[in-house]
Amino acid sequence: MALTGGEIKLDRGHDGRVAYLTLDHGKYNIITWETRQVMADRFAEIDADDDIQVVVIRGEGEHFSSGGDIAGFMEVEPIDFTDLGHNVTAPARSPKVVVTAVDGYCFGVGFELALASDIRVATERSEFALPEMNLGMIPGSGGTQRLARLIGLSRAKYHVLTASRINAAAAKDWGLVADLAADRAELDEKVERLVTKLLGFSPLAARTAKEVLDRGVDAPLYSGIELERKAYAMLRSSKDFAEGVAAFTEKRAPKFQGR
């Protein structure tokens, strides 16, 4: 069953272990002010559900998202912008592994939403951009910072300052996306294969790896390595690690429980 609200549909698959969030607001899946908050609400629900291991974000129709409701921003009080981006960046704070499937346009806040996820897969026709300079504005939902960390400061400056688009081939070459698909059908197939692979791992190990990577990347190398050591030691006492070792020695598939 799908739950709707704020132009975001929530479906569950793989025996409830995967949450599918689908942007569904017209041809270009415009993200309104209300949609931003619904995204946060959806993730609050997902994060509280221990059965869910993986989240997939995708767009209905021809395009992932052309960005935000530009005219609608003029109806929002300036003080409300102080928390801008906290809601659509919920994927980055989620303990679940978040995969974003991109087809077509991925612009503005839609791009920032994708940047906040863990893994991005796109079609060869996809285009990425932060076009806010065209409006006399800058990205406000993590775009400048996450893009610079993913593709390097020099490239990020060029694409933010000139509002230039990044084609799919460049996105793959720069590590912005993990994989490319020829079309939407192949994109769906690749994402499902990725989801199946992710479901085969320990949810506890996946959550820990995500946290170590995210927190360590902004820390000095020594601090990141120390964080990794302590997380490794913590996982040593987990039931999933014991199960993984037993499955390896017994030459069978492990049955992880997330504990």
Sign of the dihedral through C-alpha 79, 84, 87, 212? negative
- Active-site residue, from 34, 45, 62, 112: 112
- Active-site residue, from 45, 124, 132, 211: 132
Tell me the C-alpha distance between 79 and 22, whole Å: 29
Residue reference for tokens 């995204």: 39
45-to-18, 127, 233, 248 alpha-carbon distances in Å = 13, 30, 30, 35
Catalytic residue flag (residue 112)? yes
Catalytic residue flag (residue 189)? no
Q: Which residues are catalytic?
A: 112, 132
